[in-house]
Amino acid sequence: MERTLILIKPDGVQRRLVGTIIQRFEQKGLRLAGLKMVQADRDLAARHYAVHQGKPFYESLLKFLESGPTVAMVWEGREAVAVARNLMGGTDGAKAPPGTIRGDFGLSVQNNLVHGSDSRENAEQEIALWFHENELVAYESSDNAWIG
């Protein structure tokens, strides 16, 4: 079973889209394995965005993630990384297709509501940044036979 990290960034929390965004992942059939609200500090933001260090937009990414609460989630399912990225839509909300989270609710590139891991390897690393293993719950969903 593949896992992915999804963050509802401060703009998604402030705009009261948490329930709506969670609903998209639930309705698709992914299974929630971890959920918490976090106020990211500088260290966590820097570790999360380490891949962008040295780029012109790096500092603004850190400030944005630190600017308010973030909802961190771990979702599981068949091809969870790819499925979640399709649900989110492209980085630029103005260009993301309708029906995606960013396409339906976003216009910005940086303040784009959600983050999702871009590979299985990155998902493992990002999950470890945001969650301790004992914060993740393993269970069998009763609808597993239908979703598959």
- Write out the catalytic residue numbers: 115
One DSSP character per residue, 67-125 reads TS-EEEEEEEETTHHHHHHHHH--SSTTTSPTTSHHHHH---SSS-SEEE-SSHHHHHH
Q: State the greatest distance between any 2 C-alpha atoms of the chain, in Å, as a whole number.
A: 47
8: phi then psi, degrees, rounded to nearest 5: -95, 110
Question: Rounded to an integer, what distance in angstroms lies between the CA atom of residue 52 and that of residue 57?
Answer: 8
* DSSP string covering 74-89: EEEETTHHHHHHHHH-
Structure tokens at 109: 């590139």
Measured over the CA atoms of residue 13, residue 18, residue 20 and residue 25, the dihedral's sign is positive
